[in-house]
């Protein structure tokens, strides 16, 4: 029996994908990440307004992403056992307050508090929304994760554009206008949470077996391997999302607005890669996508530091497409390793991703201050070599065959 046949057998016959809910959580992910991406997009403005060093810019990212990283696994673990209705709306409210503080901050300390509140909103949003996306997947878990995550990717890519054409011309206080976006997200997530409560109350709402497909030691080793793959992916992504604007301005002399447009192009390619990664993982298996995504990007990252402006744009698009396709596959792979712990796994991996990116942003900021932006990109270009760790991941064909045996 092939992996594709096994997946078809283990999917419940009555399972039906609920696209309206998937699109709703994806759209809210877009709104959530639009607001979050405003912070790195306005770094050049904040750097000038407050006279910040690169390490202080990195610390802002750490305040946001570190908060999200620490809280997400805790929230996911808790809601796996005791689901909290309307928690996602509460998280969006925290983001709203954070935006207001960022808009009207008069000191660097208030900027840090605002960034942390945005991080709290992210920590609440991601585990529960990822769980609802899986509930609505009808067994097509890769597709559901891609649709959910691509909303966030598009939101992240829109942030620099909105910063370039709204925040930069109108000033820092215009960040508060995005409170309307937060209010829209609160209303939609309120309705989505009610659907999730009804879905959990249905008989046989969660058909997944709670048995580990491998031994505990093998499962733990696989989870560590996946975490290392996320480590390599998100440190490299942090070098682009946090410092790409500075890199293009310094190396090629582009304007601030032009650098924001280049960041939008890169982040748009990340969104496109995420869309492709999930369905391909459903078809060929998540391990295949992980192999291609993380290791396949290596030639492009190695070439980037030596490219001119036009080739930098082309290479960054290729990097975004290939590298981003891995994350939906990693989430699905991890959730299949630990069935019945969807929120916890989503919290751990989303949180770990945010945490690694946050720590990396701060560390890379220190390195950029000491050695220059070009040196950062030279060093980071070798990170995809960690993709070789994929060889230690187990085959999920075995897990699927065990599941089929239990169903039979």
Residues 6+ apart with CB under 8 A from 365: 53, 54, 55, 56, 57, 58, 59, 242, 243
Yes or no: say if 304 and 377 are a contact pair by the CB < 8 Å rule.
yes
> In 3D, which of 277, 221, 239, 280 has the Cα closest to residue 375?
239
In a domain, 8, yes or no: no
In a domain, 194, yes or no: yes
In a domain, 10, yes or no: no
Taking the C-alpha atoms of residue 176 and residue 180, their distance in angstroms, rounded to an integer, is 8
Taking the C-alpha atoms of residue 293 and residue 139, their distance in angstroms, rounded to an integer, is 23
Which is more confidently placed, 127 or 208? 127
In a domain, 318, yes or no: yes
What mean pLDDT do residues 167-179 have? Answer: 86
Q: How many structural domains is the chain composed of?
A: 1
**pLDDT value at 94 more than 90:** yes
- pLDDT > 90: percent of the chain: 15
**pLDDT value at 8 more than 50:** no
Could you report the per-residue pLDDT of 220-232, keeping only the tens digit for each? 888 888 888 888 8
Quick one: pLDDT band at residue 1, thresholds 50, 70, 90? very low
pLDDT value, residue 293: 83
**pLDDT value at 303 more than 90:** yes
Taking the C-alpha atoms of residue 161 and residue 256, their distance in angstroms, rounded to an integer, is 11
In a domain, 326, yes or no: yes
Could you report the per-residue pLDDT of 252-299, keeping only the tens digit for each? 998 887 887 888 888 888 878 888 887 887 788 888 888 888 778 889
Whichever domain contains 375, its CATH number is 1.20.1250.20
pLDDT value, residue 95: 92
DSSP one-letter code for 14: T
Residue 209 tokens read as 């077996």
In a domain, 4, yes or no: no
Quick one: pLDDT band at residue 97, thresholds 50, 70, 90? very high
In terms of residue numbers, what domain contains 123?
A: 18-407
**pLDDT value at 142 more than 70:** yes
Quick one: pLDDT band at residue 328, thresholds 50, 70, 90? confident
Range name among 48-52, 65-69, 90-94, 303-307 with the lowest pLDDT average: 65-69
Could you report the per-residue pLDDT of 351-363, keeping only the tens digit for each? 766 666 667 777 8
Average pLDDT, rounded, for the chain: 80
pLDDT value, residue 12: 44
In a domain, 174, yes or no: yes
What mean pLDDT do residues 3-31 have? Answer: 67
Taking the C-alpha atoms of residue 338 and residue 6, their distance in angstroms, rounded to an integer, is 18
pLDDT value, residue 11: 44
Residue 102 tokens read as 């960022």
């Amino acid at each position: 029996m092939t992996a594709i046949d096994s997946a078809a057998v283990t999917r419940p016959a009555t399972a039906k994908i609920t696209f309206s809910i998937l699109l709703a959580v994806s759209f809210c992910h877009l709104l959530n990440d639009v607001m979050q991406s405003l912070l790195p997009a306005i770094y050049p403005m904040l750097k000038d307004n407050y006279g910040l060093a690169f390490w202080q810019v990195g610390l802002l990212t750490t305040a946001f992403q570190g908060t999200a990283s620490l809280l997400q696994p805790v929230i996911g673990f808790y809601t796996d056992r005791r689901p909290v209705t309307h928690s996602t709306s509460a998280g969006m409210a925290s983001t709203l307050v954070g935006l207001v503080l960022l808009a009207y901050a008069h000191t660097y300390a208030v900027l840090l508090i605002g960034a942390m509140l945005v991080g709290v909103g992210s920590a609440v949003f991601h585990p529960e929304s990822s769980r609802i996306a899986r509930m609505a997947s009808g067994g097509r878990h890769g597709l559901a994760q891609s649709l959910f995550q691509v909303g966030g990717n598009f939101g992240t890519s829109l942030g620099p554009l909105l910063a370039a054409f709204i925040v930069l011309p109108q000033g820092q206080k215009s960040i508060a206008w995005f409170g309307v976006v937060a209010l829209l997200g609160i209303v939609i997530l309120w309705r989505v949470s009610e659907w999730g409560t009804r879905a959990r109350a249905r008989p046989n709402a969660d058909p997944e077996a709670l048995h580990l497909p491998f031994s505990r030691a093998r499962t733990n080793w696989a989870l560590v391997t996946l975490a290392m793959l996320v480590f390599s992916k998100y440190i490299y992504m942090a070098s682009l999302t946090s410092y790409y604007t500075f890199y293009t301005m310094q190396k090629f002399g582009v304007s601030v607005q032009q650098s924001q447009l280049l960041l939008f192009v890169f982040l748009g390619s990340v969104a496109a890669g995420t869309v492709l990664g999930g369905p391909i993982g459903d078809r060929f298996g998540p391990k295949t996508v992980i192999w291609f995504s993380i290791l396949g990007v290596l030639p492009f990252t190695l070439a980037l530091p030596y490219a001119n402006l036009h080739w930098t744009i082309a290479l960054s698009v290729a990097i975004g497409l290939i590298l981003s396709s891995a994350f939906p596959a990693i989430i699905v792979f991890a959730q299949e390793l630990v069935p019945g712990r969807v929120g916890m796994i989503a919290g751990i991996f989303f949180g770990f991703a945010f945490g690694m990116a946050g720590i990396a942003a701060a560390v890379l900021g220190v390195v950029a201050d000491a050695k220059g932006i070009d040196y950062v990109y030279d060093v980071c270009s070798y990170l995809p070599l960690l993709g070789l760790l994929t060889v230690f991941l187990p085959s999920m064909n075995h897990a699927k065959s065990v599941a089929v045996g239990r169903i039979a």
